[in-house]
Structure formats: C-alpha cells, structure tokens
Amino acid sequence: MERALGLQWCVQSDSFKFNITISERALTRRGILSMVSSIYDPLGFLCPLTLPAKLLLQELCRQNFGWDVTIPHTLSEQWTNWNSKLSLLEGFEVPRCFKPHHFGESVHSQIHHFSDASELGYGTASYLRMTNAKGKVHIAFLMGKARVAPLKRQTIPRLELAAAALSVKVDRMLKAELPSTRDKSVFWSDSTAVLKYISNDHTRFHTYVANRTSRIREATQVSQWRYINTKRNPADDCSRGVSAESFMRNPRWIRGPEFLWSSEEDWPNEPIDRSQLCTDDPEVRKSVTVNSIMQTCEERPTDKLLNYFSDWLKLRVAVAWIMKVKDALRHLVQKRKDSKDDYMYQRANRINTRSVKISMKESITVEDLKGAENAILTYVQRQSFPQEISMLQEGASCVRKGSSIYRLDPMLDGGILRVGGRLRRSAMPEERKHPAILAKDHHVSTLILRYIHAQTGHGGRNHMLSQKEQRKTW
C-alpha cells in the first residue's frame, strides 16, 4: 500500500483507496478550512461528499464569522456529523487503470461530460466510454468537479450554463492529456434553457450568458450537446452533495449512468425543440424599435447665398450687386404699373431695361456695401432672434427674461438689434456704444471674425475685439 497525502494506492489490486483521518482543530472558520483542505482529492473522486463541508464554510462566510471565532452549536453539529461519517470511506476504491484487464484494444473511445447545477452548487462529471472489437463497452471515471454557488444569488439557468462551461474547460484539459480519444466528446445537460442558449447563435443575450455561450460554441459543436433527465444525471450528486451513506450505497458516481453501458440506440432521446426560446426569457435582450420621422425642408435661397461664401468682403459685394439689381427691377415694375397708354408703356419698358443694363456696368460704392451689411445683419438677426425683435417692434421696453440676450438690454436701431443699457449716457464714441448683436454660432459671425482677424494682421483676441467695437455696424 503506497500513501500520498491521504490517498492510498493498493499495488496488488491496482486501485485507489481512501483512509481519511482529519486532525482535530478548533471549531472555527480557520480550523474547518484547514481540515477540509487536508483531504487530498485531485481527480474529484469525493466531490459529492466534500461539497457539504464547502457549503458549511460558505455559510460561515455569509454570516461574517471571524477566522478565529467559535462557530455556533447548530453549525458545529453539522460539521461533527459530517466528519464522523468519513470513516465509512475505508471500503471505497476506484480502479487506477481506465481499461480493465483482458479488455483488449479499444476501437472507439469517447469522453462523456455531465453537468448540473442547483441552488447550492454546480459541477461536472466526466467518463471515458470505450468499445473493443467485440462490441463490449466499459465506462471509466475520469474526473469530477464541484463548486459552491456564488454568494451573489444567480438564477438556476445561469448556474446550469456555468456548469456547462466548466465541462467544456475540463474537456479541453482531458483531450490534451488523453490523445488516444478518437471520437468527439459528448456533453449532457438536464437544462433545456442551456441547450437552447447554445443552439441559438442569432439571439442577443445579456453579458453573463453571451460570454459563456460564445466560449462553449468556440470549443464545441451544437450536435455534441444532448439532453438527459435529472434523475439519470450523475452530476446531480456533485451539485447538491450527498452523505457518506448515500455515497457508498449508490455507485453511480464512479460507475456512470447505466445507459452509457448500452448501445447508442438506447440513449435518452431529446424531447425538446432547441430552435425556440421562451418569449419572456429574462436573459434575452429586448429588441427596441425606434420610429423616427424625418422632415426634409429645402434651404432658403438667402441661406444658400450666405453659406456659399467663405469671405466677408465677397459676400458683401455679392449682396450689394443683388440689391442694386433688385432696386432697378423694382423701379422698372413701378414704371410699368404707372403707364396707362400702350405707347407709353412700351417706351417706359424700353427705357427702364436700358437703365438696368447701364446699372450693371456701374461699380459698387461704399454706400452700397454699407447697405448690404445692414441687409445681411437684419436678415441674420431675424433668423436668430425672431421673438425678441417682434416684442421690441410691438413697443415692449425689454425682451422676455428667458431670452439669451436679456442681459444685453437689446434695442432696435434702424431695424438692427443692438446692445442697449446705460452706455448711451457715456462719453464713448457713438459707434462703440451700441454694437449689433449676432448669434455666435452663425456662419456670418464666423465670416466677420475671420475678416477682422485678417485686417488686424492676425492679431490677438483683445486687439480683434477692440477693432470690432470701433465699427458701429458690428
């Protein structure tokens, strides 16, 4: 008999045995953790048996017991009862070799993973199914893992999915250690929700489910996953925990489920439809439908004109020419209306058409540019501050308090909205008392600032503001 940290290897029978003797320590959280950790079980032979002890430690953690605080009587009874039954494991043994004597060469070898979860914990059990040339089947226990459920409450489908992801992780490790397995692994789960999550690759899930399902799909195929009833699932033992008596009385944990010893035709059939998820499944992201109405309106010709130019001087010249032609055409139309005699009408038509042609050959004067500036500013202000201008035209002494220019005490001067206030009584030059008000985000305001910036030789901000305030128009 060879021994290693409580695990015994009987050389004569070539099997593993357990003779667990736990050194008594103080019944505190630290002492119980030390005693549970002293059980050496690297392959998970005793997973269903050790889970109740782990649940006891989790309960102590949930109740915020200190490491060296004596546990209450109710919990100490649970620990004493569990510890006293470990002596029953003296008759427990597991064959070391996966393949029995005189079995011969295995023709087919396949790993089967069973996963399950409950409110207490989740786990997985893995078995190697071998078939020789004569069709004889043998099942060998490979590995078992059991974990307690997180302190933060999770739904059962999420825990079932965590168990399925754990079985995929175990499969990767076993495939690396057992290169002799020829067939694809088979994964069994008793959760229909998990099987539907894995099968639906077009559905959007929440982060927890999405991360684990993507991890499962990367390593496995949907056809490798099968359904098994809970009563026939050996992983149910490691997700709930069993007592020492039940563990020794029921050999299913080491032997595997009975149907694996039969041919594949006798395996459980799948009675579920994986393609349809429940409409009220909380893990499915709700699709949000947004209805929007797009109202398209053509840009005004005047706005197109203002946005077309990138230079303030060119814009003023263009507007000045347009106003010049407009005045000439207006004069022509007025002459036509005043003419009552047909001869006089034709003569007036001829004379005014000639006058329009002559005016187009004339040059733009300073007064024309000034009038163009006033027209541009008037139009821009009516677009930016229509309510304020309307109130002042109706005789109001000030604009509404909610207006963005209320603090400027605006006033109308020749149709242009200007800054008011007590500066009118100051001795400052008239052109600096009442500058025009423009919206800061308007294209015309940008053109004016660029023009002043160029005129001042790209001066600083204060110099630009000083030059701007010297112009009454701006």
Question: CA-to-CA distance for 243 and 192, rounded, in angstroms?
Answer: 28
CA 294 to chain centre: 28
Phi, psi of 183 (to 5 degrees): -90, 165
Question: CA-to-CA distance for 139 and 103, rounded, in angstroms?
Answer: 12
Q: Is there a single domain that holds both residue 249 and residue 373?
A: no
Tell me which residue range forms the domain holding 103: 98-280
Q: Is there a single domain that holds both residue 12 and residue 110?
A: no
- Is residue 301 included in any domain, yes or no? no
Q: Is there a single domain that holds both residue 176 and residue 322?
A: no
- Is residue 291 included in any domain, yes or no? no
Q: Is there a single domain that holds both residue 265 and residue 126?
A: yes
Q: Is there a single domain that holds both residue 127 and residue 269?
A: yes
Q: Is there a single domain that holds both residue 117 and residue 61?
A: no
Q: Is there a single domain that holds both residue 276 and residue 127?
A: yes
Q: Is there a single domain that holds both residue 21 and residue 153?
A: no
Q: Is there a single domain that holds both residue 255 and residue 391?
A: no
- Is residue 212 included in any domain, yes or no? yes
Per-residue pLDDT of the chain (474 residues; tens, 9 = 90+): 777 766 788 888 888 888 777 778 888 999 999 988 888 888 999 999 999 999 999 999 999 999 999 999 989 999 989 888 888 888 888 988 988 888 888 888 999 999 999 999 999 999 999 998 888 999 999 999 999 999 988 899 999 999 999 999 999 999 888 877 678 899 999 988 899 888 887 777 778 888 898 999 999 998 899 999 888 999 999 999 999 888 888 889 999 999 999 888 888 887 667 767 776 777 777 766 777 776 655 678 888 888 888 888 888 888 888 888 888 888 888 877 776 555 555 555 555 555 555 455 567 888 888 888 888 888 888 888 888 888 888 877 788 887 888 777 788 877 788 887 777 777 676 666 777 888 878 888 888 888 878 877 776 766 666 665 555 445
Q: Is there a single domain that holds both residue 133 and residue 198?
A: yes
Residue 162: closest CA among 225, 116, 221:
116
- Is residue 446 included in any domain, yes or no? yes
pLDDT of residue 346: 56
Q: Is there a single domain that holds both residue 386 and residue 359?
A: no
Q: Which of 96, 130, 159 is the last residue of a domain?
A: 96
Question: CA-to-CA distance for 415 and 267, rounded, in angstroms?
Answer: 92
- Is residue 322 included in any domain, yes or no? yes
- Is residue 304 included in any domain, yes or no? no
pLDDT of residue 358: 45
The three-state secondary structure class of 129 is strand
Count of domains in the chain?
4
Q: Give the domain CATH number at 112.
A: 3.30.420
CB environment 219-245: b (16+ within 10 A), e (fewer): ebeeebbebbeeeebbbbbbbbbbebe
CB environment 263-284: b (16+ within 10 A), e (fewer): eeeebeeeeeebeebeeeeebb
Residue 309 · residue 447 · CB < 8 Å:
yes
pLDDT of residue 472: 45
- Is residue 289 included in any domain, yes or no? no
pLDDT of residue 352: 52
pTM, rounded to two decimals: 0.60
Q: Which of 96, 124, 139 is the last residue of a domain?
A: 96
- Is residue 378 included in any domain, yes or no? yes
* Structure tokens that stand for 166 in this block: 């754990």
pLDDT of residue 173: 93
Phi, psi of 47 (to 5 degrees): -55, -50
Q: Which of 96, 121, 143 is the last residue of a domain?
A: 96
Q: Is there a single domain that holds both residue 64 and residue 145?
A: no
